Structure formats: C-alpha cells, structure tokens
C-alpha cells in the first residue's frame, strides 16, 4: 500500500535525494542528474506557486523503496490544476512488484478530476499506459556543434538580457500554445530565478503591441553545452531570431555545442546552416491521463514547462 503525503517544509528531503541517487546511480548521464539530486533541489521543486506537491511512496522495513511525486501548476484557463507526475523511482531490488502502479493510483485519488501529465523514461511508459495515460506529444532533441576557435562575443540585433519575471508578455501572445500552464510573473520567478542550482538567461526583443519574442537559455554539463529551455514568439520570423539569439549566446559563452527541442512536424526555427544540425536519438514524450488531443503542429511544447531543460535526464 502506497503512503500518500502532502509535502511540507518538515519533509525529509535528504531521504528523498538519497533514494533518487540510489535508484538512478547506474545511468550514464548521472553527472547532470546527480548534481540535481540534493535536498535543496527537491525543497524548491515541490513548492511551486500553485501549492505543495503530493508524494506517494512505499517503504519496506522503514526504508523507502519506491516513490512518485505530483507537482501542481495553475491552469491558464478554468479551475483546478495540472499536476506533473515526476521523480518516478523504484529501488532496483524491488522492481516488478506493482509499487509504481500503487503510487500512481494513490496520486490519482489525491488529485481526482485534475489533469495529470508526465515526461517518462522508456521504463515507465508501459506502466503509465496501463494506468490509463496516453502519449499526447513528442519533441525531438537537436544539436549543433560550436567551433571554439570561432567563438567570439556577438549579439543579435534587438535582443538583450531581461529579467525573467518581466518576460510574461512573451508567454501569453498565443493562447493556443498556453492552454494549460499559466506562465505568470510569479511562476517565472519560481521556475527560473529561484532555481537553487541552475542559472538561466532570458533574451528578449520587444515587439509591437506587446508581442515580445523571448528565448530562455542556460548552460549544462559544467558549462560545455548551451541549450534552449523555452522559445516563444509571435511569428516564425521572431522564433528564428530568438533561436539565433540563443545560438550566439552559446557561442559567446564558450559552449562547445548548442541543444534545443522541437516539434518534428514543423521546420526548425534556426536559420543558420541546416547541414550542421544533428538530430539526436533522444525524444521528449508527454503523456497525460486524459484522452490525448490531436494537437496541431507547433503546439507540442505547451506542457513542457518543468522538465523542458531536462532536469530529468
């Protein structure tokens, strides 16, 4: 039977972090993952503006052996919340015993009637499908190498760094792309400015009538890789300019590669040489507990808010 907890500041975040490290210590990208598997990270992650997260866990002889978290977000429209299912983990010695299913069932009871979504790894997808989830959208990860000798300070005309909390206008220009998660100034402060471990940069270009273009970027893997976290613009031209702004930022920051995720049904917004782009084997697949809607091209990223910068990889 899974134990259900509405998290508070008194929770044992050290235990959560230690369990996550134990459950995923074998993965090859563990350097970036392990950097985040600390009490400070979970203390931030589980308390977004919408309220504290739910945690479903299973213990054996008082030791945690399985857990799943549900983190709430304000809906862009309507009542209720959208809950992100994340931090799915089972001790390797206790797998295939139904603990994941039990945790999901407990969380479904806790947030009954609300939307739930998840970006699972391959091992968790079958369990989500059995629990009634379906794949809603998929993004592909792309990369472009950067030549260190060619790196120099450079800017894109009209773009400059901005306070992330002031970029909310860029995130409300197209309601079709923000049907679920409300990107308010409060959310942006929590998501980016208050992150205890990652440092983000917002590049913004003011547009006519409040139609700003904004791209959020950060460095990962000890600063060697730059990546686009979010790119929202009112036009294809604005999206291309924002993508190039991120690319030039990565070059000027001394990165060796530049990464972004895109909907495979639409062309990449970058307008630099396409033959230098690599499509990596990684996919970011979004599952929801409601019947998957047929989303039009360009809307696949509307739920990619919390793990858009691969905190889960």
pLDDT at 185: 83
Are 111 and 151 members of one domain? no
Are 50 and 79 members of one domain? yes
Residues 221-239 pLDDT 10s? 888 999 888 877 767 787 7
Place of tokens 């990684």: 282
pTM of the model: 0.84
d(CA 69, CA 241): 37
Would the pLDDT of 305 be above 60?
no
Question: Average pLDDT for residues 241-251, to the nearest whole number?
Answer: 88
More confident position, 178 or 213: 213
Residues 20-59 pLDDT 10s? 999 887 555 566 777 888 999 999 999 999 999 999 999 9
Residue 162, strand partner residues: 202
pLDDT at 91: 93
pLDDT range class, residue 170, cuts 50, 70, 90: low
Are 152 and 281 members of one domain? yes
Place of tokens 């208050």: 194
pLDDT at 139: 80
SS3 call for 190? helix
Query: Is the residue at 212 inside a domain?
Result: yes
Q: Which domain holds residue 105?
A: 3-132
Query: Is the residue at 234 inside a domain?
Result: yes
Are 80 and 198 members of one domain? no
Residues 262-271 pLDDT 10s? 777 666 555 4
Are 198 and 248 members of one domain? yes
Question: Average pLDDT for residues 124-138, to the nearest whole number?
Answer: 91
Last residue of a domain, one of 103, 132, 161: 132
**Mean pLDDT of the chain, nearest integer:** 79
Contacts of 278 (CB under 8 A, 6+ apart): 142, 143, 144, 145
Query: Is the residue at 161 inside a domain?
Result: yes
Least-confidence region, from 147-156, 176-185, 196-205: 147-156
Are 195 and 233 members of one domain? yes
Are 120 and 159 members of one domain? no
Q: What is the CATH number for 122?
A: 3.40.630.30
Question: Average pLDDT for residues 62-90, to the nearest whole number?
Answer: 90
d(CA 33, CA 37): 6
Residues 79-101 pLDDT 10s? 788 899 999 999 999 999 999 99
């Amino acid at each position: 039977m899974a134990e259900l907890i509405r998290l508070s500041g008194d929770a044992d975040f050290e235990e959560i972090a230690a369990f996550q490290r134990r459950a995923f210590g074998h993965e090859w990208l563990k350097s970036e993952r392990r950097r985040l598997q600390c009490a400070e990270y979970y203390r931030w992650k589980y308390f977004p503006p919408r309220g504290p997260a739910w945690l479903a866990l299973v213990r054996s002889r008082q030791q945690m052996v399985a857990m799943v978290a549900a983190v709430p977000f304000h809906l862009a429209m309507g009542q209720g919340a959208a809950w992100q299912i994340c931090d799915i983990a089972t001790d390797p010695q206790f797998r295939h015993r139904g603990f994941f299913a039990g945790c999901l069932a407990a969380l479904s009871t806790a947030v009954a009637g609300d939307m739930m979504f998840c970006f699972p790894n391959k091992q968790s997808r079958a369990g989500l499908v059995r629990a009634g989830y379906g794949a809603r959208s998929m993004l592909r990860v792309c990369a472009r190498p950067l030549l260190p000798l060619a790196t120099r300070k450079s800017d894109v005309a009209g773009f400059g760094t901005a306070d992330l909390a002031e970029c909310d206008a860029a995130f409300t220009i197209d309601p079709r792309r923000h049907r679920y998660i409300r990107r308010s100034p409060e959310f942006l402060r929590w998501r980016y400015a208050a992150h205890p471990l990652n440092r983000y940069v917002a590049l913004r270009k003011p547009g006519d009538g409040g139609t700003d273009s904004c791209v959020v970027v950060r460095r990962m893997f000890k600063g060697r890789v730059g990546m686009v976290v979010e790119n929202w613009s009112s036009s294809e031209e604005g999206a291309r300019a924002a993508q190039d702004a991120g690319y030039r930022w990565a070059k000027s920051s001394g990165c060796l590669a530049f990464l972004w995720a895109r909907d495979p049904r639409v062309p990449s917004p970058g307008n630099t040489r396409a033959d230098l782009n690599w499509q990596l084997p990684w996919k970011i697949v979004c599952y929801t507990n409601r019947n998957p809607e047929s989303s039009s091209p360009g809307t696949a990223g509307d739920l990619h808010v919390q793990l858009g910068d691969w905190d889960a990889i």
